[in-house]
């Protein structure tokens, strides 16, 4: 499982021109589920996201998490994170999980993260063509990865 995480001052995801999820300060998470990923990877990623210390403390050091700051999270499914360009220039997505399994594990990450944070976690629409808008804060962008 891979999560491209960006610290944002705001972010939104739109489908057909309508906002389906939006947050203020927090984390935008582009989540890819790999073939063979299990509940264990989903739980690990959700827990890592909640505890990820990327927000500044009183001294300006990245030392606070979503839990510490009451920051929000927006999670968007992103199978293209598993795109491989080892051969040629057209990406191959053979390492991405099948849609049914990817959707289940994506929902598990969102559910566990929401339970940990004690609030709703907005999302995009799995499998839809989405427009993601964000204001990256820092910029801070990290890749979290845990393979099955």
Give the model's confidence band at 148: pLDDT under 50 very low, under 70 low, under 90 confident, else very high.
confident
Sequence-distant (≥ 6) Cβ neighbours of residue 23 within 8 angstroms: 8, 10, 11, 12, 72, 73, 74, 122
pLDDT at 101: 97
Beta bridge partners, 21, equal 13
**Residues 16-41: what's their mean pLDDT?**
98
Q: Is 15 exposed, middle or buried (0-12, 13-18, 19+ CB in 10 A)?
A: middle
pLDDT (tens digit, 9 = 90+) per residue, 54-96? 999 999 999 999 999 999 999 999 999 999 999 999 999 999 9
pLDDT at 136: 97
Known catalytic residues are 78-80
Sequence-distant (≥ 6) Cβ neighbours of residue 115 within 8 angstroms: none
Q: Which two tokens stand for residue 148?
A: 């099955």
**Helices within 36-119 (DSSP H only):** 39-51, 66-69, 99-117
Residue 111 phi/psi, 5° resolution? -65, -45
**Residues 15-34: what's their mean pLDDT?**
98
pLDDT at 147: 84
Is pLDDT at 20 greater than 80 in this prediction? yes
């Amino acid at each position: 499982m891979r999560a491209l995480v960006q610290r944002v001052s705001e972010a939104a995801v739109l489908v057909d021109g309508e906002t389906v999820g939006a947050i203020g300060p927090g984390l935008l998470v582009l989540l890819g589920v790999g073939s063979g990923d299990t509940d264990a990877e989903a739980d690990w990623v959700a827990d890592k996201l909640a505890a990820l210390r990327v927000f500044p403390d009183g001294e300006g050091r990245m030392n606070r998490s979503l839990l510490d700051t009451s920051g929000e999270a927006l999670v968007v499914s992103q199978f293209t994170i598993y795109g491989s360009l080892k051969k040629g220039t057209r990406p191959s997505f053979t390492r991405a999980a099948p849609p049914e399994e990817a959707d289940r594990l994506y929902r598990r990450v969102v559910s566990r993260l929401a339970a940990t944070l004690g609030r709703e976690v907005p999302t995009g629409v799995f499998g839809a063509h989405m427009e993601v808008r964000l204001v990256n804060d820092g910029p801070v962008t990290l890749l979290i990865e845990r393979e099955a």
